[in-house]
Structure 1
Amino acid sequence: MLPELPSLPIHAILPELQDKLSRHQSVILSAEPGSGKTTIIPLVLASEEWLQGEKIIMLEPRRLAARMAARRMSELAGDKTGGLVGYRIRFDKKISTKTQIEVVTEGIFLRMIQNDPELSGVGLVIFDEFHVRSIQSDLALALCADVLELRDNLKVMIMSATMDSERVAGLLGKAPVITGEGRCFPVETIYLARPSNDYLVPRTVKAVHHAMVERDGDILVFLPGAGEIKAVQKRIEGDIKCLTLYGDLPQHKQDLVFKTTEKRRVILATPIAETSLTIEGVSVVIDSGLMKIPKFSPANGLTSLHTVSISKASADQRAGRAGRLGPGVCYRLWTKTEQHSMAEFLPPEIIGADLAPLLLEVMQWGVKNPAELTWLDPPRTAQLEQAGKLLVRLGAIDNRGNLSDLGKQIASFPLHPRLATMLLYGRTHNNAILACRLAALLQNRDLFRRGNTEQSADIEDRLDILRLFDRNETGLIRAKGADISLCRRILREADQYQRLLRVTGEKHDFKEAGNLLAIAYPDRIAKKKTGSSQHLLASGRGVILSPYDHLQQADFLVAANVDGGKKQGKIFLAASLSLEEILHGQSHLLNTKEIVEWKQSKVEAVSVLSLGSLEIKREALRQVNPDKIRKCLIKGIRQTGIDCLNWQKKSRELQARMETAHDLDPGKWPDVSDKNLIENLSWLEPYLDSMGSLKQVKKLDIHSILLTLLPWKDQQALDRLLPTHYQAPSGSKIKLQYMPGKPPVLAVRLQEMFGASESPSIYNGRLSILIHLLSPARRPVQVTADLASFWQNTYPLVKKELAGRYPKHYWPDDPLLAQATARCKPRK
């Protein structure tokens, strides 16, 4: 029998809730903050007849909320935690054979339902604070929806103060929606009068000081992350009792927030304090309006942390913290105008998360395609494809697309598939302790305090700190700028992983860190770009390592902690890796390819060993298919351009004649223009045998090769129709200058054309020659295509000028009757 429960608004809708649950499998409850839904409803429902003595499982989005909810319900029941009400969170649980209500995190629930798909002994599953919409809560609901079809005696209830109730109800077969009032006292909301130019930290500090003077009661400050919390704490600590609350904080420090004191407090918190928790004494909330969310990029396979504006729903949740126990005030560090532009709800985590853990869970459930399950927001295709590729690399999915034996083992661990794979590999290769320590290091914030720009990203430095802690050298740990309490937490988690692996006290080689991390992060094996601080990941993504980091000396790295970044990510944690370790430990991911490529004006034939986008090793090939070399050489010639060939003067002259012939008779003569020759190099290909460089190609006689494009008869016809020389009336043979698309040019001294009454033509009279008449000194005098007109109209003027300049030369009055000569005067 329960003691008398506090009088809270939720009691008003309890009869309706009990009635709906007795007649429906699913119920949606929307009740305002402070209504008592989290702590009252499970206690009341535990005695319902339809439960038939089975358990109630309540899911909470955060470990702190799960512990505090279980503790509060136990207090209301007059029992200790672990009796009627217990909890299970990661690495901590308080339950007994008497426990009827279990408060669990969503991750723990996934382990429970995977281990027992029928949820034997469970009569009701409650999803509390469902509006948070973590990826695990979405998956848990999808699996529960599957179980509801198998068990008509299992019930599901979804609870939140701010969610799209009708949409959730539609997902569960039009489940009834119950709406309840809250017990939130009036909260005065104060906005900034105008947008602030201050950075977040000074803006928050200013608001805290203002609230300390203007208002009474404890102050709860919402900040996006631990970094901002520590920065604000540093500025206000002293006269003010300042407490912090965030996920990575040890439990005993988190619990301090819930212990009332006579001294006024300022509590700096992340969104962890946004839901489920009532903090005694708080009547003032200062809201930064910001939060940090992870965003996964399918393009590069990396997750980066983004600071974003909260939604209106979150802002209401935060403001409600000030009115839980009495009237309060909420200072919002943004303007009313900015409030109007805020989104009603933020997109659920499933939209922008790494889906590898989800895909593994779904496949463990026995479903290959996640689309077969029921989702509020289905996982995106691109992210699922990326997740599938990673699981294949890790060996979790076999070549038939099924969950492998290794994949089943990986799925049994409460860790990301990457880290679970590393733990299993470490156990198999007698290095489990190191694997466990690496996993614990990667699951927590950095051991070294932020702000030290000279600190290397080398994970070996963190392992050194843990070794110092093993030897109780705390003074040296402090001197190195590391966090002692975090060392304790990391080693405690590492011990938990050892228990999961069932290994104890084995020897370990810390030099194997790079090899172990490569098992977990094969796509993040990195190679330094020559002459740069940038590294290329096996995934193809470019990342930056500090140019002063000693890891710059390593041939290869494994970048375990990388920020996706907007343009290029930054490496925060990495380990060095040798070529031998890659060849030995990653042989299943290596690919050997024979490459024949054009490089530095020659064909290079090599065998390239690669891992993803990384070239691991390159060796010259001794035997290569001649066809591949020839094709590559042709490609290289085409890339370099037609001028790379041995174009002697006579080659270009022949080409010009052949092009002129093609212009006149396209069907008879080949197109030997530069454009056609470079586009279709089949005319050159027969002469490239045994060649592999431009240096060799330059020895080819292009003139002779062009001639072979013409049969012997056509060669004779070309010489006849488009002769190389023209015999002038003087008897001189003068070279014709051919230019495709233009008439050929005859540059001849004027005196050598005496007696020629008409301009000469070639190609059976179809092509007139353009005459460039020159002075005795071979300087231009006149250009004409009509010699008869020149003699009649222009010659008298030219003669007068030339006679004055060249008096010793022969300048007849009638050039048509005069004897042509190449001398000063004609022979007598």
Structure 2
Amino acid sequence: MNRPAFPIDELLPRILASLATHPRLVLEAPPGAGKTTQVPPALLAAPWLGGRKIVMLEPRRVAARAAANFMAQQRGEAVGGSVGYRIRFENKVSAATRIEVVTEGILTRMLQDDPMLEDVGALLFDEFHERHLAADLGLALALDVQASLREDLRIVVMSATLDGERLATFLDAPRLSSAGRSYPVSVAHFPGKREEAIEQQARRAVEHALAQHPGDVLVFLPGQREIARTDAALANALPAGQAIDVLQLHGELPVEQQSRVLQPDPDGHRRVVLATNVAESSVTLPGVRVVIDSGLAREPRYDPNSGFARLDVVAIAQASADQRAGRAGRVAEGFAYRLWPESQRLDPQRRPEIAQVELAGLALELAAWGDANLRFVDAPPTGALAAARELLQRLGALDGATITPLGKRMLALGTHPRLAAMLLAPDDTDERALACDLAALIEARDPLRSRSDALAERWQALAAFRAGRVGADASRSALAALDQAARQWRRRLRSDAPPPSHLPAHVIGDVLLHAYPDRIARQHPGDPYRYQLANGRSAKLFDDSALYGEPWIVISELRDEARDARILRAAPLDEARLQRDFPQRYTREDRVVWDANTRGIAAVRETRFDRIVLESKPLAKPDAARYADALVDAVRQLGLAALPWTEALAQWRARVRCLRAWVPELADALPDLSDAALLASLDRWLKPALSGKTRLDALDEQALGDALKSSLDWATRQKVDALAPTRIVVPSGMERRIEYGFDATANDGAGAPDAPVLAVKLQELFGLADTPRIADGRVPLTLHLLSPGGKPLQITRDLRSFWDRTYPEVKKEMKGRYPRHPWPDDPWNATATHRAKPRGT
């Protein structure tokens, strides 16, 4: 085929020159510039490539196929020759392949299996701005390989919308930018109606676009569900007598349907393409003149506090909105309609997946790589990573931080560790075939239109489809895709057993529990709708649940809520299977614990499955040594205010905290007495003081003070008293108290000292020129100057200025009110006193 011209063409010589002298490059080019299909062929003749392969990462299967097909057609070849692709369950490469387009999981496997990559000369990361987790991991692994094994490996990061300067700095790489090929696009916000569903607003916008503008219409919707609803809404709404085709585009479509969307209509019909964000930047759609953008995408979100992941419909970033609108200006002047209010502000850039998804797969990859300290563009959150490692230990994939033989087998399957554990668990051939069905069911969209929470109903619909029956509430296309995915899993596992046609009641749960060991759940004895999970949390059934009455279930899908999670999908299981498969998770333990309800100690003997309490009996003679642990737990729950603080001890604590800030050279010698630090170290400082006690109120003030001061030696305590004294002698000869405070609500989160306060009658300071100071003269006292009656007259930290400027006015006002007290004209040289004048003077 004749090669068309692309805007990227004029930049290709600079790209080649840069890579000849530098092993990394950041390439920015807007959609339509040609970076995906023109850069890889341009690199084939580069001397540094030395006849090796170019591997290009595409984040989506649709885009990987399309890019490989386009490059192969340019070379007059079929895919699988010099240009090929590899995606999950599909491989079109050969010994002659020089350019290999792969999806993200494939690249990770290549790096894990052969870190040297001896037959690869360049790695290209396309559409990196989408910031998928697998792309971030792939780049981190590639950088590690380049730094330690392959200095000659070239790494090119390509993006349409990205903070290129930041990425170039991170990579220590040159940055090149290409112009795009686009026409002006007029952007307008299409008004919605009150409580109007997104598919109805999209339908109205499509009708308007077809009536007002030429060309094809591309509609961006968050997911397949919204695409199907919009398709149905358009079925009876399009103009009669016009040749208009409505097409869908998403990653689950068969290859033939995807290819149809990516080619011009052979009969010249106008088209309305309903697409997910797969059409945002990864593929080019011919003939599009109008874009209708819902402004939404369905993306994974993870809460490390709950341990539950979910797909949420979220607002897109401004960069994505701009990119979507640009799709209308590829062939001529275009129009973009946004289905959100003009007043709504979007985030500038898309958040990286690594910051908001479940990280079990990443944690397993890092364990297999043997180095968790890779260089990530954005580091994985520590909380989510810790939760992921805990799950992997439950699944048997990690022993501590080390990958197990089972973990290595799980990793080789290239799926989520939960599903990999389930696929590898069964010894029985029929159960292994069932595991393949369940893996397909969990990974794919729901084949049923009903809201039932029984996973068994989904499997029964699949079994019925195989027997030639499709229920009224089932999707034939979804069931066909499920059947195909299950066949691929059986082929991958070399499972010769046919898929089962019927099952005993609990078998689905008995297999599924190996994927969700943390979500094995037992019915609450006092509430049949509530379940306690093995991870210690709780969840509830819907009122019309098909699972009502099941004593044990395993939950595959949850929605996190404020109190109890909501069970969306689950299956019953047989407790005998738990005892057979997980005997080590049954424990019996004597526990002495703090009971928040009774505010006392409870001593019980518990039988548990993980954190599910199966039986609890009172203990007549508990181990006395365990009481201290229970009392420490009580303080953790109730807070430090539950301890017997005296005013003197609270002041001592404040003095130490202040000195850590005022005298930095003492900070290492003085303990951190903030709430957070004390609560985190209760076992160290408080537990010894609770030894032998069975009640929290048995701890007296003296014992608490001794515990709090236990880490300070005698010399350090003396320094505290000298630098932050409790009292100070004023000119009247009397000792007056200094009050210390600490502001724990400061913006920095660590708190800050309040200014120390000396409250003293004005007459007691006559003759004192300067404000008293503490902390080795570093900190002036805040003087609360009082009237003879103890009422506040003035607050100052500059006594000298007070005598000069303010005292004359105070004297004038107070002299008549307190005639029996001295009010000298010269306070500098007057005698300080705490008494009134003698009678008759």
Q: TM-score, normalised by structure 1?
A: 0.71
Q: Contact 2:461–2:471 (CA<8 Å) still a contact in 1?
A: no
Aligned position for 1:698: none
Counterparts of residues 596-675 of structure 1 (less than 5 Å) = 607-615=605-613, 617-618=614-615, 620=617, 624-625=621-622
| Residue 118 to residue 626, structure 1, CA distance change in 2 (3 Å) | closer
Q: How does 1:228-239 map to 2 (within 5 A)?
A: 228-238=226-236, 239=238
Q: For 1:389-422, what per-residue CA distance to the aligned partner results, in whole angstroms no more than 9, with x for missing partners?
A: 11111111114x2111111111111111111111
Give the aligned partner of residue 685 of structure 2: none
**Residue pairs, 1:428-447, within 5 angstroms:** 431-447=431-447
Provide the C-alpha distance between the structure 2 equivalents of 1:415 and 1:242, rounded to a whole number of angstroms: 33
Instruction: Answer yes or no: is 1:343 the counterpart of 2:343.
Output: no
Structure 2 match to 1:165: 164
Measured after TM superposition, the shift of residue 248 of structure 1 is 2.5
Once the 2 structures are TM-superposed, how far is the Cα of residue 587 of structure 1 from its aligned partner? 2.1
Structure 2 counterpart of 1:500, one-letter code: R
Which residue of structure 1 aligns with residue 291 of structure 2? 285
Q: Counterpart of 2:521? A: 526
Kindly state the Cα deviation for residue 595 of structure 1 after the two structures are TM-superposed.
4.1
Partners of 1:426 and 1:434 within 8 A in 2: no
1:707-746: CA deviations, max 9, x gaps? xxxxxxxxxxxxxxxxxxxxxxxxxxxxxxxxxxxxxxxx
Q: CA deviation at 1:609?
A: 2.3
| Larger CA deviation: 424-433 vs 7-16 | 424-433
Q: 1:330 corresponds to which residue?
A: 336
Pairing of 1:245-324 with structure 2 (within 5 A): 245-261=249-265, 262-324=268-330
Match of 2:836 in 1: none
Q: CA deviation at 1:92?
A: 1.1
Q: 1:566/1:351 Cα in 2 relative to 1: closer, same or farther (>3 Å)?
A: farther
* Corresponding residue for residue 796 of structure 1: none
Aligned letter for 2:106? Answer: I
Counterpart among 170, 189, 213 of residue 211 in structure 2: 213
Which range moves more in the overlay, 56-65 or 288-297? 288-297
1:315-714 matches, within 5 Å, as 315-338=321-344, 341-367=345-371, 370=372, 372-399=373-400, 401-427=401-427, 431-449=431-449, 452-453=450-451, 455=452, 457-471=453-467, 473-474=468-469, 477-479=470-472, 481-505=473-497, 511-529=506-524, 530-531=526-527, 533-565=529-561, 568-595=564-591, 607-615=605-613, 617-618=614-615, 620=617, 624-625=621-622, 679=697
Q: Deviations over 1:747-800 (max 9, x none)?
A: xxxxxxxxxxxxxxxxxxxxxxxxxxxxxxxxxxxxxxxxxxxxxxxxxxxxxx
Alignment deviations for residues 235-287 of structure 1 (CA, whole Å, 9 cap, x no partner): 11144522111222333332331233222221111111111211112110001
1:153 corresponds in structure 2 to 152
The equivalent position to 1:31 in structure 2, one of 16, 29, 32, is: 29
Q: Could you tell me which runs of 5 or more consecutive residues in structure 1 were left unpaired when the two chains were aligned.
A: 636-675, 683-828
How many residue pairs match? The answer is 624
Which of 228, 233, 241 lines up with 2:245 in the alignment?
Answer: 241
Cα gap change, 1:565/1:217 in structure 2, threshold over 3 Å: closer, same or farther? farther
Distance 1:133 1:679, change over 3 A: closer
SS at match of 2:262: coil
What residue number does 1:46 align with? Answer: 44
Residues 622, 536 of structure 1: CA spacing in aligned structure 2 closer, same or farther, 3 A cutoff? Answer: closer
Q: Which amino acid aligns with 2:5?
A: S
Structure 2: distance between partners of 1:290 and 1:631: 53
- How many Å apart are 1:487 and its aligned residue? 2.2
Q: Distance in 2 between matches of 1:41 and 1:633?
A: 65
- Offset of residue 569 of structure 1: 3.4
**CA distance in structure 2 between the partners assigned to 1:92 and 1:630 by the alignment:** 61
Over 3 Å counting, the alpha-carbon distance change for 1:627 and 1:540 in structure 2 is: closer
**1:546-571 deviation per Cα after TM superposition (whole angstroms, max 9, x unaligned):** 22223111101100122335654332
- Give 1:613 shift: 3.3
Go from structure 1 to structure 2 and tell me whether the alpha carbon gap of 1:604 and 1:346 turns closer, same or farther (over 3 Å shift): closer
Distance 1:192 1:212 in 2: 14
Q: What is the CA distance between 1:77 and its match in structure 2?
A: 1.4
- CA deviation map 1:310-361 (0-9, x unaligned): 11110111011111222211111234432xx321102100001111100100
Secondary structure class of the residue paired with 1:337: coil
2:454–2:547 CA contact under 8 A, matched in 1: yes
Does the 8 A contact of 1:82 with 1:95 survive in 2? yes
Distance 1:247 1:629, change over 3 A: closer
Letter in 2 for 1:491: D
Q: Partners in 2 of 1:291 and 1:566 — Cα distance? A: 24
Match of 1:765 in 2: none
Q: 1:153 to 1:621 in 2, by over 3 A?
A: same
State the alpha-carbon separation in 2 of the partners of residues 157 and 600 from structure 1: 64
Distance 1:193 1:486 in 2: 34
TM-score normalised over the length of structure 2? 0.70
**Residue identity in the other structure for 2:522:** K
Contact 2:631 2:695 in 1 (8 A): no
Q: Which moved more, 1:492-501 or 1:401-410?
A: 492-501
Q: Cα distance, 1:619 vs. partner? A: 6.0
Partner of 2:70: 72
What is the one-letter code of the residue matched to 1:553? G
CA contact (8 A) 2:198 2:294 kept: yes
In the superposition, relative to structure 1, how do residues 633 and 302 fare at CA in structure 2: closer, same or farther (>3 Å)?
closer
Q: Aligned partners of 1:98, 1:565: CA distance in 2, in Å? A: 54
CA-based RMSD of the aligned residues comes to: 3.0
Distance 1:610 1:218, change over 3 A: same
Question: Which residue identity does 2:323 align to in structure 1?
Answer: Q
Give, as a single letter, the amino acid of the residue that structure 2 aligns with 1:520: A
For structure 2, which runs of at least 5 residues remain unmatched after alignment? Answer: 239-243, 633-693, 701-841
Cα contact 1:54–1:100 (8 A) shared by 2: yes
Distance 1:17 1:621, change over 3 A: same
Distance 2:112 2:442 in 1: 25
